[in-house]
Amino acid sequence: MKVFCEVLEQLYKKVLLGATPENDSRDYIFYLSPEVSDQDCSTATSLEQANTSIQGRHQPISVGLAPIAVAPACLKSSSEMSSSREVMLLQLTVIKVMTTRILSVKTDFHAREKYRDIIKILLESAQVDSKLICMFQNSDKLLSHMAAQCLALLLYFQLREKITLSNSWIAFCQKNLSEYSESNKAIYCLWTLTAVIKEIFKDSCSQKTEILKQFLTHFNTIFEAFYNSLFSQHFENCQDTSKIINILMCFLELLELLIASRIYQKLHFTSQRILFWKPACVLEVITWPIQAFAKRKFIIFLKKCLLCKVGEDLCSGSVPALMPPDHQVAVDMLALANAVLQAVNSGLLETLPVHGKRSFFGGDEVQPGCEHIFGPDHVILRAASLVILKSLEIKFQNCSSASEMKVDLQRFMSELLTFLKPHLQPSLQLHNPCKWLSRVFIEQDDDMLEAAKASLGIYLTLTRGCEAAESLTRGKEMWAHHTHENGYNPHCIFLFFLGNIGFDSTVLLDFLISSETCFLEYFVRYLKLLQKDWDNFFTICNNFDAAESKYDTSTCGCVPSLVQDQSTNQTVPHRLPAPHSHIEVCACHSQASDAPSEPLRAVTSQGNHPMYAPSLSSPGASQSLVDYDSSDDSEVESTDQCLANSKQMSLPQQGTKGIQDAAVTSRDEQEFSLEPPSRPLVVKEFNTTFSFDCEVAPNDVISAVGIFYRTVKCFKELQGAICRLQKKNLFPYNPTALLKLLKYIEVISNKTMNTL
């Protein structure tokens, strides 16, 4: 036994260093082949077999191997490796590291070829895959897990080398996944198959699609059968509910990778499409009386499917480029969207555990002496909201009836806002309903922008449908009322977004540079809409300011620079009369229509407007979310003041730094808010309701430093920052089209200012 362990140790050290073993490849098979019992894989039996085998056979390798200069400190000496468990763990570790070395392009060519030869012989002569399958039944969890890891790597090695997969492994999967079983074998089987797909995703070889196709050819029918069997179970009839929860989580991970492989690699196996063919099975699980974390997993899974972001969290390394969508993907997405909306109509939202125990990394139990965190689960609120928005967008893209779209939108948005109302304090009734989006998604930038983009898509699709039906021109006031009542007016949503970031152009710049959100796509689409719908945007800005000035919200001190544009050194008039032609289309307090007409006071202090984030000062006066002056890692110039002192670095570092330090507004927004972190957007509420049909009096005036001025100034600063980066060849893509849009907005905003 001592000689056996010494040889195994020496081999482990060589493989760990990537060195080439000197002996013949077949000599190492004796030491790498685990000895397991076919009956119970017990450790004691394995130890006896190992000792007997070692003592009764000629040792093929001499102990006098060349010494290794560097050895891991954690490696035990041979005298301490007294049990067969230690021996088998070391054997599995050597096999795992050796296979990893084969798959790595950094391994020396001669060493890789030697390792490849050893593993091939190990698979052919020693039938190591069958022994690893047997070890799944071992009561030692570590041993079972190591066996599953090794088997996954060996299976992927076989796929890469075009070696026929083991019949014993395929038979094992067919036996344990043909129908639902509460055994641990099914869990290890699912985990191993999932690990194989992850390895396929990680690999950078050009034959990735062919390898995946070869793999799914063997297991396609098995996956489909297990899907039908698992989701046909009745949770109440399960003897061990923990087992079915574990299997659900394992299979959900596998199902996500199957869908990801279909989207990214453009394959069309039935196992990859079964969710879209039978979505009701997965939606039904959310209604089961299971733990909150499981329901959360499923609703997040649905969100990622609808956003085509499946697999991003499960694939190690970079996610492959998204393939162009095809007709089948569009059909499947529509089927899933319709199923989601049908489930929502049947009361799906009522089954979501919004107020249950909140799960953290350490579980959902609060330890003695720790403060319990109250409040709704915002992860579920965000996921449910985004699932409904995205489902509506997908459905409307395939719908030609404007009246049907309006009915569906009103029904499901009403359902969503009713669901959110009890969980958002203060109530949405006291606000412009369009504010719901910024309040729900304030802690998650990527989801907030996805929701804003989906909402904008709904608005554009519905607008085109109404224009085609010629119903939009006949009732603009009713149309405006409809967009606000159902919380999807794109101008309100964008203004609330700007309010959340303090009208800071540097944050917009970080979003544009970053590839972690869909802001570029959303921003371009919104700017195109803004060109056509400028009058409505201007009117909404006026009404935001009218509500702020009418109710004289609390201030945070004087900011004299608000009435002067520092970039042009031109003092702007304190009062700008509102155009006579604009009709109010955003929510305002009902008392505004009854109040006497009088000039509105110019706002020269930092107002805490109840309809958007507090402390929305001018970009020139506000503190940036990222202080580029003091950053040693950034090259992005934000304003003229920061331009003189900004420091340079490489563009990839800048992009990473920008999204980490600036784009995540939920963390940095606390610097501006007077509220506790749980309520970062709201400072003061009013016991009044909103009216959608009040009109601004012709002789009303708005503040020169109101929403309109701040928005235009933010656009102008953003345009200047992009131009400066482009001139230095520091912008990560060609921004010409974006700059044209911003330039056009500047032209029409100047015309508006000149007419006032």
CB atoms within 10 A of CB 696: 23
pLDDT score of 688 more than 80: no
Separation of alpha carbons 517 and 348, rounded Å: 28
Q: Which DSSP state fits 351?
A: G
Task: Please give the pLDDT value at position 292.
Answer: 87
Radius of gyration of the chain (CA): 31
CB atoms within 10 A of CB 67: 8
Separation of alpha carbons 623 and 635, rounded Å: 18
Per-residue pLDDT of 100-113, as tens digits, reads: 999 988 899 999 99
**164 CB-near residues (< 8 Å, 6+ apart):** 158
Residue 326's identity, in one-letter code, is D
- The full DSSP string for 56-76 is HS--SS-S-PPPPS---TTPP
Separation of alpha carbons 115 and 28, rounded Å: 10
pLDDT score of 657 more than 50: no
Task: Please give the pLDDT value at position 553.
Answer: 46
Task: Please give the pLDDT value at position 91.
Answer: 93
Whether 355 contacts 376, CB under 8 Å: yes
Separation of alpha carbons 366 and 12, rounded Å: 44
Query: How far, CA to CA in Å, does 328 sit from each of 269, 333, 335, 473?
Result: 12, 9, 11, 37
Per-residue pLDDT of 692-736, as tens digits, reads: 333 333 333 334 458 899 999 999 999 999 999 999 999 999 999
Task: Please give the pLDDT value at position 472.
Answer: 56
Per-residue pLDDT of 417-444, as tens digits, reads: 999 988 876 665 545 788 899 999 988 9
Please provide the average confidence, as pLDDT, over all residues in the chain. 74
- The full DSSP string for 139-170 is S-HHHHHHHHHHHHHHHHHHHHTTPPPPHHHH
**32 CB-near residues (< 8 Å, 6+ apart):** 11, 91, 94, 95, 118, 122, 126, 128
Burial of residue 688 (CB within 10 Å: 0-12, 13-18, 19+) is middle
Separation of alpha carbons 388 and 170, rounded Å: 40
Per-residue pLDDT of 247-256, as tens digits, reads: 999 999 999 9
